[in-house]
Amino acid sequence: MDAFFDAVRSFVEHLAAVDFSALAVACGFQIARLLARTRAWRNIIAAAYPDSRVRWRSVLGAYLAGVGLNAITPARAGDIVKLFLVKRRVADSTYPTLAATLLVETLFDLVVATAIFAWAIRLGVFPSLDRLPDLPSIDWAWPLRHPAVLKIGLPVLGLLVLIGLIWATRRVREFWHHVAQGFSILNTPSAYVGRVVTWQALSWAFRLLAISWFLRAFGLPFGVHESLLVQTAQSLSTIVPITPGGAGTEQGLLLYLFRGEAARSLVLSFSVGMHIMIVIVNVALGIAAVALMTRSLRVHRLRRDAAADSGTPAAHGTQSEPR
């Protein structure tokens, strides 16, 4: 908490020096990035359900609602909201299939993030493993300080996952069929490249442009090199998202990556400022999406929709609503 409030103080102290025009441009690229990603996800879902009408606006609303919730909650709870909202707008869809489409959506991200991470490792800009636990605000520092937890915990976790998969296979015969359905677009590589990879590549371009303009807004070096470093820190911060958006880990890594290039207070100001602006943009879009899709922001409305989704008569009435 002390590190967090220290970063907030640095942000407030440097607020007068922020280039708000550059900040606005960065937020614009952040919005463009999200829009591009929703096009890719919509195409993945459409390939999984070729006989159903998959509207982009429905996928857009569900995705933005989930992104907004992910911005303020840990452990990617917003992904559940994405699935819940889009399931009610795609006829005959199932949660296993839709969850699989989210996994397909991350495949290209994994390739790009791995390439960027390999580039950063080759440059030697990251701290060694024995230094990571000593960096401030690293969410996953505790297990690194206690390696016995990893040696025992990871095999146990792997065993539990294996048992769960075996149980699911035996208890739910159609489970794997629905999961495979979510990967349908991969059966046609040309469709995957043309309708998914292209949109995701555009999304990555917008992402790096947004970072560059955030760096410029806070008076830090804003070249391609610096943008890739920030992106690497962001990717690593979401490995174990204990804090919302992995803000603590991102802050600690940025302080290390920009050591010697900028003052500590300026890096903290950038880290907090960028995170705050992204949260504001994502939450604002998420609130608007939820309001438009559910026609309400009231909790009891969402509870009623969830009850309808479980198979009560109200579910049929909900599916017949205009989309």
Torsion, Cα of 258, 264, 269, 271 (10° steps): 40
pLDDT of residue 293: 79
Q: Which two tokens stand for residue 315?
A: 């579910």
Residue-level pLDDT, tens digit, the chain, 323 residues: 555 555 566 666 667 678 999 999 999 999 999 999 999 999 999 999 999 999 999 999 999 999 998 888 766 778 888 998 899 899 999 999 999 999 999 999 999 988 988 888 888 776 654 555 555 544 445 555 555 555 566 677 777 777 776 665 555 666 778 889 999 999 999 999 999 999 999 999 999 999 999 999 998 989 899 999 899 888 877 664 444 444 566 777 787 788 777 788 888 888 888 888 999 999 999 999 888 877 665 545 555 565 555 444 444 433 433 33
pLDDT of residue 316: 40
The predicted pLDDT at position 215 comes to 94
Euclidean distance between CA atoms 217 and 304, whole angstroms = 44
Give pLDDT, residue 7.
Answer: 57
Distance CA 201, CA 207 (A): 10
Please give the pLDDT value at position 310. 47
Burial class (CB in 10 A: 0-12, 13-18, 19+), 66: buried
Q: What pLDDT sits at residue 299?
A: 46
Three-class SS of the chain = CHHHHHHHHHHHHCHHHCCHHHHHHHHHHHHHHHHHHHHHHHHHHHHHCCCCCCCHHHHHHHHHHHHHHHCCCCCCCHHHHHHHHHHCCCCCCCHHHHHHHHHHHCHHHHHHHHHHHHHHHHHCCCCCCCCHHHCCCCCCHHHHHCHHHHHHHHHHHHHHHHHHHHHHHHHCCCHHHHHHHHCHHHHCHHHHHHHHHHHHHHHHHHHHHHHHHHHHHCCCCCCHHHHHHHHHHHHHHCCCCCCHHHHHHHHHHHHHHCCCCCCHHHHHHHHHHHHHHHHHHHHHHHHHHHHHHHCCCCHHHHHHHHHHHCCCCHHHHHHCCCC
Residue type, 95: Y
